Amino acid sequence: MEKHVVVIYPHPDDESFGAAGTIAKFREQGVPVTYLCGTLGEMGRNMGNPTFANRETLPEIRKKELIEACKVLDMELVMLGYRDKTLEYEDRNEVAVHLKGIIEEIEPSLVITHYPEHGVHPDHNALGAAAVEAVRLMEPEKRPTVWAQAITNTHIEELGKPEVINDVRDNFDKKMDAILCHQSQANGVIRSWNQSEGLDNDLKEEAKKRLGYESFYIWKY
């Protein structure tokens, strides 16, 4: 059983869409989980449907949504204070050293992050790379395991099958609850799957199909 898990993703809602089921399972086992959220998603274009946010109110709104989701998932939250859509312009080493400091303080047995170059969003790639680098900078015997999540359409073709595949469908309600905390964002993503005005059940089935498995590659140093 893991001792402590640290999740490192850049945007409020990455944790819910990407790893909510995995996180919930760890919490069920009594494993502490800490989420290092890179930014407040300041530059997201989803403003709710119907629209209720604007470019200026969005960060505060997403911050509240993030706090709610972390309550649902029962995990500790640390906001890293970077800005959405600028992570790849930050000095990679500085970000890595920042993350390394926090990781060394928490001493997790496992770090979960995005697979660099396979995160799709530039922030995912940048923060994933910094997280991988942060652990690389540590003494080998002190390094936590790193699970890296790839979401590009080509990842299986290019990286092979992920070593860790978590079937999270049995506690899917919790994942949906976490996702729905991100009211400003959830609608936009969900609607992009299901163009028709289907029933709530259809939506949940569609969500289960797309988000029912959370897969990770074990990073090899």
Partner 1 sequence: MKPIELDKVQEKLESFIDKDVYVHLETTNGAYASHVNAKAYNVGVYIRNAKVRFNQAKIVGDGKSYRAGLKMEIGWIYAEGLTDWEIFEGEKLLMAGHDREGRLMVALQISETPFNY
Site for partner 1, rule CB under 8 A: 43, 45-51, 54-57, 59, 83, 85, 120-123, 152-153, 187-188, 191-192
Nearer to partner 1, 87 or 131 (CB): 87
For residue 216, give the nearest of 36, 8, 11 by alpha carbon.
8
Nearer to partner 1, 83 or 204 (CB): 83
CB of 36 to partner 1, least distance (A): 20
CB of 119 to partner 1, least distance (A): 10
Measure the CA–CA gap between 30 and 32, rounded to whole angstroms. Answer: 6
CB of 56 to partner 1, least distance (A): 5
Measure the CA–CA gap between 64 and 12, rounded to whole angstroms. Answer: 9
For residue 6, give the nearest of 18, 20, 23, 21 by alpha carbon.
23
Encoded tokens for 156: 């299986």
CB of 187 to partner 1, least distance (A): 7
Nearer to partner 1, 46 or 113 (CB): 46
Measure the CA–CA gap between 29 and 211, rounded to whole angstroms. Answer: 21
CB of 44 to partner 1, least distance (A): 8
- Residues 12, 13, 15, 20, CA torsion sign: positive
Measure the CA–CA gap between 41 and 58, rounded to whole angstroms. Answer: 8
Nearer to partner 1, 15 or 123 (CB): 123
Angle, CA of 124, 173 and 182, to the nearest 5°: 45
Nearer to partner 1, 57 or 93 (CB): 57
Nearer to partner 1, 192 or 196 (CB): 192
Report the phi/psi class of residue 218: left, alpha or beta, with left for phi > 0 and alpha for psi in -120 to 50: beta
CB of 92 to partner 1, least distance (A): 19
Encoded tokens for 127: 């923060």
